[in-house]
Amino acid sequence: QQQVKQSPQSLIVQKGGISIINCAYENTAFDYFPWYQQFPGKGPALLIAIRPDVSEKKEGRFTISFNKSAKQFSLHIMDSQPGDSATYFCAASSAAGNKLTFGGGTRVLVKP
């Protein structure tokens, strides 16, 4: 059972554009929602994370928007750069288990 659904599977954006990736979850016990960035052959790197007591969190060019009632959250990459070309994963965990449940990933390609 896929508890975190991520879309789109792939995304092409022009340099300077905005990349938007969406995730939806089912388990209402989830209370921590991180995003990871992964380059080929590397492990996932923590990018930004949010808890459900806030609706938005911004760090540099990366913003998470969170909608608790809809059980959805999204990542916005502003001013996308070729170096942002990577696979992005949303994830979720609860205080009880702490294990991360990942979405299926979004492959982002930023064209110069």
Q: Which residues bind other proteins (CB under 8 A)?
A: 6, 32, 34, 36, 41-46, 49, 89, 91, 93, 95, 97-105
Cα 78 from Cα 107, distance rounded (Å)? 16
| Comparison of 24 and 32: residue with beta carbon closer to other proteins | 32
Q: How far is the CB of 95 from other proteins (least distance, A)?
A: 8
| Comparison of 42 and 58: residue with beta carbon closer to other proteins | 42
Q: How far is the CB of 15 from other proteins (least distance, A)?
A: 25
| Comparison of 20 and 100: residue with beta carbon closer to other proteins | 100
| Comparison of 24 and 100: residue with beta carbon closer to other proteins | 100
Q: What share of the chain is helix, strand, coil (3-state, %, to 5)?
A: 5, 55, 45
Q: How far is the CB of 16 from other proteins (least distance, A)?
A: 28
Cα 51 from Cα 8, distance rounded (Å)? 23
CA 43 centroid distance within chain = 15
CA 65 centroid distance within chain = 10
Q: How far is the CB of 111 from other proteins (least distance, A)?
A: 21
Let me know: does 3 contact 26? Beta carbons within 8 Å: yes
